[in-house]
Structure 1
């Protein structure tokens, strides 16, 4: 048997798998439709929907989850980037009472202004996971919760704790603004076509009210610390690039607020005094929790250092 024959059969099988209702699914665009009704039902159950809820669904595809959401809530706003999928979803509910409860937004959810919603449910293309999480967390007014499907490793980063291998800036940033829980693992065979990676579902509940800090300042601090998360804080703040940035921001802040810069000002000594005074000079960011970072941020703010400008 020629070597090429099995390959042709495999390609043909893959092409069949990529066709849904005559729509060619594009793997590179993250188009993997959730086909297992048990997983769909599990996600909806975890959302704990109320009859008065407005649900934002991102990536509805052909509507396997959408039609079930419509049965349990007041309204669904479905955001879909692919006009073909949006048309298929519209056709699916056409002529039913559910059609009056469905609003379809066609476009890139990252570039779209989000409407009011109580609950968000999303099966996201993995390449937009991080920007979408922060778009959600900075969205106002506050929503109650979000049930989101992510690539397994990304989900593990969201819930990672200090000391975990995957603990990173994403972990700390997310956990500052929300409570994050891992809900379930979802194998690749639950999708059509199957993605190359395993997935997980997480629940995000924003902290309301949020911590009373400047998020740009906070993120600026974390960028410095997690850039070298295995180094001590002393080492992180000893590099010339970081010191130059801090001195520039310090002088700008002083200038904008009519604060005189001391003639003998030395940024290296000032930074050392702050982190030693906080008691974190020998700590490493990989093992620091939210309260630790907040203490360090407060130390810099007390000396009018602007980390996030």
Structure 2
């Protein structure tokens, strides 16, 4: 039996080499081969002739060439120099060549993304979460992003309080953007097929963004979802959480020239705030955005900070 598996893997490898590129699935190289899926993604992006489009993970350029036909410029970020060379070769000597800007390297390590109006991407799934936040915290604002994700990840983005998949990712994304599931995409639309099903998602940043400090917000939400089934009263008894908050609180007091009594206990102070304001028995998995905003305001107005 192991021999059969080995022979199958060998045949698949040979077939990919014959095609000119050996795809590395460990870094998420699953090339979207269905032109109808590409066409639908670009229709949902509502591209304009004046647009600059950011494409992350263009691969061999099946989607890139279609985008180039409809826009002013494409900035394509590709981590694999072999695939970048394939894409360069594909447009060489055509009118599309001057409209393509290739960035070879890890997009997550780029300090500041270049300007773009729209982002369209069939993403390597292992970088889904950091890419979402890199995009949502990018300035100036872009119109929208149409992105391919693993299906479960896509459902986490749109999950509501009480849903099984509701998590920190859900709350943070929905704070900063409107998110819509557009279409399901089966495994066989990719070469080689991934092990999971996929979904195309449209993300539209809220402009202007909510007037809160995102680092503070994320610090609070992170604590809430450390154990999302625990009550907030229990979550804020965690020693490492209390240690971090006490350090911040003492900095706040020194900046505002407040003197703390010798028997001061931040643990008691937090417990009292949570109980008096009806938060002690709440659980993060059932809290909506307004609940988290009210809790952040309660803590901040009492000198408790998360950044």
TM-score by length of 2: 0.95
CA RMSD between the two structures: 1.6
Aligned mate of 1:99, from 86, 89, 97:
97
Distance 1:197 1:19, change over 3 A: farther
Deviation at 1:245, TM superposition (A): 2.3
Could you say which residue in structure 1 is the equivalent of 2:48? 50
Deviation at 1:23, TM superposition (A): 1.1
Deviation at 1:266, TM superposition (A): 2.1
Query: Within 2, Cα distance between the matches of 1:218 and 1:181?
Result: 23
| 1:188 correspondence with 2:148 | no
Could you say which residue in structure 1 is the equivalent of 2:253? 254
Distance 1:257 1:11, change over 3 A: same
Could you say which residue in structure 2 is the equivalent of 1:265? 264
1:18-60 CA deviation, whole Å, 9 max, x = no partner? 3474111111111110000010001101101111111000111
1:124-170 CA deviation, whole Å, 9 max, x = no partner? 11111111111111111010100111111111111111100010011
TM-score by length of 1: 0.94
Deviation at 1:92, TM superposition (A): 0.9
Could you say which residue in structure 1 is the equivalent of 2:83? 85
1:228-269 CA deviation, whole Å, 9 max, x = no partner? 111111121123332222212111222234333345532122
Query: Within 1, Cα distance between the matches of 2:102 and 2:16?
Result: 23
Distance 1:235 1:4, change over 3 A: closer
1:281-306 CA deviation, whole Å, 9 max, x = no partner? 22111011111100000000000111
| 1:18 correspondence with 2:16 | yes
Could you say which residue in structure 2 is the equivalent of 1:64? 62
Deviation at 1:90, TM superposition (A): 1.1
Could you say which residue in structure 1 is the equivalent of 2:168? 169
Distance 1:304 1:191, change over 3 A: same
Query: Within 2, Cα distance between the matches of 1:44 and 1:209?
Result: 25
Could you say which residue in structure 2 is the equivalent of 1:220? 219
Secondary structure of the residue aligned to 1:56 is strand
Query: Within 2, Cα distance between the matches of 1:17 and 1:175?
Result: 43
1:88-134 CA deviation, whole Å, 9 max, x = no partner? 11111111111111111111110113100000011111111111111
Deviation at 1:211, TM superposition (A): 1.1
Deviation at 1:16, TM superposition (A): 4.2
Deviation at 1:215, TM superposition (A): 1.2
Could you say which residue in structure 2 is the equivalent of 1:243? 242
Unpaired runs of 5+ residues, structure 1, are none
Could you say which residue in structure 2 is the equivalent of 1:120? 119
Deviation at 1:4, TM superposition (A): 6.4
Could you say which residue in structure 1 is the equivalent of 2:290? 291
Query: Within 1, Cα distance between the matches of 2:263 and 2:22?
Result: 67
Query: Within 1, Cα distance between the matches of 2:99 and 2:152?
Result: 35
Q: Which moved more, 1:32-41 or 1:254-263?
A: 254-263
